[in-house]
Every structure is written in structure tokens, then in C-alpha cells.
Amino acid sequence: MSSLYVTVSTRMSRRQERLTGIPRVEYEIARELVARGGHVLRFDRLLGRFRVAALEGASDQRSPAKAPAMRAGDTIVVPAIFWRQRQIDDLARKRQSGEIRVGVYVHDIMPIRRPELVSNENGAADFRRFIDAMIGCADWLCVSSRFVEKDLTAYVREIGKRDIPVHHVPLCADLKDRTEADASQRLRALELPSDGYVLYVSTLNPRKNHVGIYWLWRRLVEELGDTAPPLVLAGQRGWNDRDVFDLMSRDRAMWGRHIRFVEGPSDAELVQLYQQCAFTVFPSHHEGWGLPITESLSFGKPCVAADNTSLREAGQGLATHVDELDGLGWLAAIKRLALDATYRGDCSAQIAERYRPRTWHDVGEEIARLARASV
């Protein structure tokens, strides 16, 4: 019988340790595949190759000694691309010498399509080099959205590689079901009005369009004065964030009053923020999925989101989508949700009726099915 392996680059020493973005996806996929009899592979820098290891932070840390030697027909699942050539080289060696099959989860190819949104030119060039190498050693690919499926399929064709199947495996939003809310001391210090503020969950970087939402909120306050709902920004500070952070934080009329910042919120704090907000916004320029939209819906909260890339898929037809460059359209959508409680309630009722949740169990089962089918 063939065996299943999953690579993990994320390190987590405790189950309670917070992971976000792609590292969280990587960990959850690994956890699900281990639960289905898979084995974790972690790259050993001294040996220059992958070796079987335990999944740190998991309740059932499988002993490396129990893993069989790799043989023809086994499958390695890679939940995220590698940014180091040595890892890719070892995957390629395993595939070529042992008839091992490799499946790669590609979250997006934004650095290729929108290099101006990446940290620098070197970052975009590195991504292209590594994604090309990963495609070169993959037997199949999977993606979270139909948008990325189409984009990645076109890119594989552009670079002239062999035909590789690309499968659609949407992500999930399980924050509501796995974490209890925590009205922490720093959240209480913000003195936020219950059901009266707007939430934007995102890392601060140029791709997420915090500059746009800042100017929009200034305009909203000019029109509504103190009746304008506060905007809460919740997330890590990311690359190239200094200019936008300095711009917002130097605006003493807005910062700490109409715009409030929760840096690096815990999962429990995020649950509290989602539960107590009136609605959410997500004006990002480019996404492979758009998890905060799906999370907002999972809490029954309406969301005003940009109308690009995969964001309509994440919104399941239940979010309000506006072109990220249409400032007046955004202003109108936000004012309607903020000022018309009946309309906001109708939106929430529609979400409660039509939102279709997914779990990491669903994601893991679909990827495991792909791995079994590839043998």
C-alpha cells in the first residue's frame, strides 16, 4: 500500500500558538493528513534533505520511527511553495529516483501578475524562480479558488511546461467554532461600541489597500461627524507598512478615535472583534482567496469587499462587492450598512440562511482524495 507524506516548514511548539495566513493553512493541512495516516516531512539543513518528523503542537505527534521508507507510488503533498532551492532540489530527486509523486498547493501567483504589490523586485523574481521549479517537479497542483485555478493553468501554459492537472480545493473559516471569545484588557481599553464599529482584519502591507480605506474613513467622518462608526484595523504589521502606518498614526484627529489599531490579535480577540462588530470591510487589491470575508460571513456579519480576483468566491454571493477604485461606491455601501439597521439585519439574515461553511476536515479529505487518485 502506498504512503502519504506532507511537508511542513512552519514550526509551532504549542497547540495554542497563533499561526496566520499560509503558515496556518500549511499546518492545518498537515494535521488533517497526519490524522489520515500521513507522515510529516521537515527539511534537515545539515543533511540537505527532507526527513520524517513529528508535527509540532499537534495532540498526536506521530513518531518518526513508525514511518516506512519511501517507495514507488508514495505521494508527497506540499501545502505551500518553498523559497529555498535546496528543498526543491530534494523533492525533485525523490520524484525522479524513487517514482514518488508530488502534489503542490499554490495559493496564488500574485508576485508574477502584480509585482508592484510585492516587497521588492528581488522578491518577485525569487517567487517566479521558485514557482517555476515547483511546477517542474509537481505531478498535480491544487488551489483555493477558481480564479487562481484559471490563472495558474494559464501560467503553466505560458512557461511551456508539461500539462499538469490543477484541482480546486477551497479553504475554510473555522475560527468561530474552535475558539472562545476574549474581551481582553486591550480590547476593553478601546471602548468600542457594541455592534457599532467596522472591522478590517488584515496584515498591514500595500496589497491590502489600507491607504484607500484610510482616506475613505476621513471622508466618512467629514460627512457623518461623530456618528461615523469607528474603524478597527486588526492584524500584524507587514512588509513596506511604515509609510501607511505613519500616515494614519500621525493623523491625530483620526488615529485612536475614528481609526483604532489592534496589533497581532490573538484568535480569541479576533472572535470577540468579529462577534461585536456591525460589519466588516476588505478592500484588498489582489487575493488568492480572501479568508477574512469568509470569516465575516461565518460570524453572520455583512462584508463590503473589493470586486477583484477571488473575492466574489470567498463571499459566496453574500458580500457587497465594490471596485476598489470606486471611492463613492464604497462610501455609499458603508453608509448604508452603518446607518440602516434594518438593511444590515436583512443582510445578516440572508447570511444565516445561505452561508455554506467548510471545515479543515473537508479540506484535508479532498487533498487526501487527490493524493490517492494520483497513484
Q: What residue spans in the chain does CATH classification 3.40.50.2000 cover?
A: 4-172+359-374, 175-354
CA separation for the pair 54, 48 (Å, rounded): 18
Give start and end residues of each alpha helix (H) in 84-190: 85-98, 110-113, 121-136, 146-158, 175-178, 185-189
CA separation for the pair 375, 2 (Å, rounded): 8
Share of residues in the chain with pLDDT > 90 (%): 76
Stated pTM of the model:
0.92
Structure confidence at residue 6 as a pLDDT band (50, 70, 90): very high
Mind listing the pLDDT tens digit for each residue in 274-289?
999 999 999 999 999 9
pLDDT at 144 exceeding the cut of 60: yes
C-alpha dihedral sign at 247, 249, 253, 258: positive
Strands 320-322, 303-306: pairing kind = parallel
pLDDT at 156 exceeding the cut of 50: yes
CA separation for the pair 375, 372 (Å, rounded): 6
Count of alpha carbons within 13 angstroms of residue 56, beta-carbon side: 16
Higher-pLDDT residue of 68 and 322 is 322
Residue 22: Cβ within 10 Å count: 17
| Residue 299 near residue 341, CB atoms below 8 Å | no
**Sole residue written with cell 457594541:** 194
Count of alpha carbons within 13 angstroms of residue 250, beta-carbon side: 6
The CATH architecture one would assign to domain 175-354 is: 3-Layer(aba) Sandwich (3.40)
Domain 4-172+359-374 CATH assignment equals 3.40.50.2000: yes
CA separation for the pair 10, 27 (Å, rounded): 7
What pLDDT is attached to residue 83? 82
N-term to C-term CA, the chain: 10
Mind listing the pLDDT tens digit for each residue in 76-131?
999 988 888 899 999 999 998 778 999 999 999 999 999 999 877 788 899 999 99
Q: What is the DSSP letter of 38?
A: -
Mind listing the pLDDT tens digit for each residue in 294-337?
999 999 999 999 999 999 999 999 999 999 999 999 999 999 99
pLDDT at 14 exceeding the cut of 60: no
